[in-house]
Amino acid sequence: MTARTTRFLQQWLVFAGLVAVWELATRAARAPFFPPPSQIARAMYQQWLSGPASRLFLTDDVFDHVFPSIGRMLGGWAGATVVGVALGVLLGRSAVAMDFVGPLLAFGRAIPPPTLVPVFLVLFSLGTPMQLATIVFGTVWPIVLNTVDGVRAVDKVKVDTARAFRIQGPQWLFGVVLPSALPKIFAGLRVSLSLALILMVISELVGTTNGIGYQMIYAQRQFELPAMWSGIVLLGVLGYVFNTLLLAVERRALAWQPVGNHAQATGG
Amino acid sequence: MPTMLEVTDLGHRYAAKDGVYTAIDGLSFTVGSGELVCIVGPSGCGKSTLLRSVSGLLRPTTGQVRLHGNLVSGVPADLAVVFQDYSRSLFPWLSVQRNVEFPLRRALGRAERRERARQALEQVGLTGAAGKYPWQLSGGMQQRVAIARALAYRPALLLMDEPFASVDAQTRFELEDLLLRVRREQDTTVLLVTHDIDESVYLGDRVLVLSKSPARVVADLTVDLPAERDQITTRESERFVAMRAEVARLLHSPPAEVAAPARERAGAVVGE
């Protein structure tokens, strides 16, 4: 058995064991609010994976609720990435900009993003624009702050080297500044990705007629507790999958880094 | 031999907590075309400040630097620098090949860039490492990459700031001989800063000896060793031993006429 498989088994054995214990406990307790995992799994299967083979067994629910949710989350996050990196580069490369807007950023970041849902509801009414606004606003801060940090910390010797070879303009920005800042930027992206998932659900709990969050609140009101739980599990799965994908992208993009040298996120 | 570089009355002062710190003061010297000039001075005497001023990275407080007779204000196009700290000077996200090509992107097409990088890497004996990342190489090899990058740029003047101070002794000898070989091959003018007396005599056509901070030129010695140098026979030759002793003596006790003003400024903090 390779070290990799051992590690894999180690990680998932505890997980599987806990699920088994939970199964036994919930069956024994018969508490209506805590359906056993097997029942949740069956609910998940029926809700999302019992569709026709021509659509990869995906049900209408997936197309009507899950995909729109994922779309909003990734769309909002992508928007925040573009805005956040651009803003971060501008602020970070300016000698004085942060002196002026630093407190503003700190203040903006301190506002708990879910509290802005009512504001955006008034501004955009019910629907996707409101949700995108919530996600972008909530996830942009860690990206801005990490980018500012990253582009400010370009190594002095690299700055001198670039100047000595008269590297300037786009080559300076894309060839030196952004690659230097990339580990920091990725740290920000990871923080904001998990925020994007949270904000997607919260905005759907109040402001839509479709999406995973909407389905969950609907199931809860109908006392379909297994369906509510399956939404929770699905969100966990999505969070795990997206984070894993982002880590894989990061590992590729930062393959040039010596091993075991990962930047920590600041702010978020 | 036409003059390549002319430094006149160069001085640099920093604002420090307790007044003004004079790093270098009234430095004047010239470097002829094709020469390899070593600047040797005690640690912390402002050698790096001098090199940064010559390269145009730092604006001197007084005096001027002229390259081919043109006043240097900002970094000239035909100048390259090799820094001491290769691990920070190389771009870790670029492969060795791309590191060497990077400064050429503005001026050259892809094919020509690649060819120049290939040649430069061959010159420094790193043909096989072109696809590797800097961190996969030893320190000595990384500094070779930095040298290759400077060579591929084909500068008229190559500035080197303690280029071999961070590698082990064996590697240092190899790199010194490498420098002597490539500068013969390419006929490059080199200004090299070091704190190592032996190195300055071994490498240089001329050695400029600096005083303690604020740095001034206390001696300008011509190294009358044969052009062909060898790590063993050159270093044991009488002439080499005599020269290194002379440089050491100048470093430790500068001649009186220069020492007087230098000592006056000892401590280097003036104007409180």
Share of chain B above pLDDT 70, in %: 93
* Closest-approach residue (CA) in chain A for B150: A165
The size of the A-B interface in CB pairs under 8 A is 54
User: Which of these ranges, B12-26, B100-114, B235-249, has the smallest mean pLDDT?
Assistant: B12-26
3-state secondary structure of A167: coil
Structural domains of chain B in order of their starting residue, each with its CATH number: 3-78+156-270 (3.40.50.300), 85-154 (no CATH)
Residue B203 has what pLDDT? 94
Largest CA distance in chain A: 74
For range B125-153, the mean pLDDT = 93
Residue B43 has what pLDDT? 79
The string of pLDDT tens digits covering residues B64-79 is 999 998 898 888 988 9
For range A210-221, the mean pLDDT = 89
Q: How many CA atoms lie within 13 A of B81 on its CB side?
A: 30
Q: Hey, are the CB atoms on A164 and B85 less than 8 Å from each other?
A: no
Going by pLDDT thresholds of 50, 70 and 90, the confidence category of residue B92 is: very high
Look up residue B71 and give its two tokens: 């006043």
Closest to B204 (Cα-Cα) out of B180, B181, B168: B180
pLDDT at B250 over 50: yes
For chain A, the average pLDDT equals 88
Going by pLDDT thresholds of 50, 70 and 90, the confidence category of residue B42 is: confident
Q: How many CB atoms lie within 10 A of CB A25?
A: 12
Say yes or no: B26 contacts chain A, CB-CB below 8 A: no
ipTM of the prediction: 0.85
For range A257-266, the mean pLDDT = 55
Say yes or no: A171 contacts chain B, CB-CB below 8 A: yes
Q: Hey, are the CB atoms on B81 and A257 less than 8 Å from each other?
A: no
pLDDT at A139 over 90: yes
Rounded Cα gap, residues B190 and B206, in angstroms: 11
For chain B, the average pLDDT equals 87
pLDDT at B266 over 50: no
The bridge status of strand B70-71 relative to strand B36-40 is unpaired
Say yes or no: A179 contacts chain B, CB-CB below 8 A: yes
Contact B91, B149 (CB under 8 A): no
Residue scoring higher pLDDT (B6 or B270): B6
- The closest CB to that of A163, out of B75, B106, B135, belongs to B75
Q: Hey, are the CB atoms on A166 and B81 less than 8 Å from each other?
A: no
End-to-end CA distance of chain B: 45
Going by pLDDT thresholds of 50, 70 and 90, the confidence category of residue B268 is: very low
Q: Hey, are the CB atoms on A157 and B77 less than 8 Å from each other?
A: no
- The closest CB to that of A157, out of B79, B88, B93, belongs to B88
Q: Can you identify the CATH homologous superfamily of domain A55-253?
A: MetI-like (1.10.3720.10)
Query: Which pTM does this prediction carry?
Result: 0.83
pLDDT at B257 over 90: no
Helix axes of A117-124 and A178-207: crossing angle, nearest 10 degrees: 80
Task: List the domain boundaries for chain A.
Answer: 55-253
Looking at CA atoms only, how far is residue A211 from chain B in angstroms? 40
* Closest-approach residue (CA) in chain A for B137: A258
For range A206-217, the mean pLDDT = 85
Suggest the residue from B59, B73, B93 to mutate for an interface test with chain A (most A CBs closer than 10 A): B93
